Amino acid sequence: GENVEQHPSTLSVQEGDSAVIKCTYSDSASNYFPWYKQELGKRPQLIIDIRSNVGEKKDQRIAVTLNKTAKHFSLHITETQPEDSAVYFCAAISDRGSTLGRLYFGRGTQLTVWP
């Protein structure tokens, strides 16, 4: 099955700096890659996603890039703010094969933004 690796596990940045979180996946059939933000004790919330037919997507301070050939995708947060502090999970999913619709998550990155 799919294996999603995520780095780093923890990331501390100063307010206003950029943060980058990287993920790799193993299954070339994966074609949808969401990113979730999870605040302590809360549900995972989708913040951005990208499909395999797109190389980059941006939404205000958040962007995601995808390299299908290398099987990796990254989350970029610019001008970080303290409220960006949370655990961020990448995930991969395929709509083909035996694992239809199953989200495979990375291990998460604890992002801390210091004021």
Partner 1 sequence: EPEVTQTPSHQVTQMGQEVILRCVPISNHLYFYWYRQILGQKVEFLVSFYNNEISEKSEIFDDQFSVERPDGSNFTLKIRSTKLEDSAMYFCASSEGLAVTQYFGPGTRLTVL
Part in contact with partner 1 (CB under 8 A); list of ranges 17-25, 59-67, 75-83, 88-96: 88-96
Q: Which is nearer to partner 1, 84 or 108 (CB)?
A: 108
Sign of the CA dihedral running 44, 46, 52, 54: negative
Q: Which of 31, 65, 78, 112 binds partner 1 (CB under 8 A)?
A: 31
Where does residue 29 fall: left (phi above 0), alpha (psi -120 to 50 degrees), or beta otherwise? Answer: alpha
Q: Helix %, strand %, coil % for the chain, to 5?
A: 5, 55, 40
5 is a site residue for partner 1 (CB under 8 A): no
103 is a site residue for partner 1 (CB under 8 A): yes
Q: In the bound complex, what is the minimum distance in angstroms from residue 20's beta carbon to partner 1?
A: 20
Residue 6 φ then ψ, to 5°: -135, 135
- Cβ atoms of residues 12 and 96 within 8 Å: no
Q: Which is nearer to partner 1, 77 or 87 (CB)?
A: 87
| Interacting residues toward partner 1 by CB under 8 A | 31-32, 34, 36, 42-46, 49, 89, 93-95, 98-108
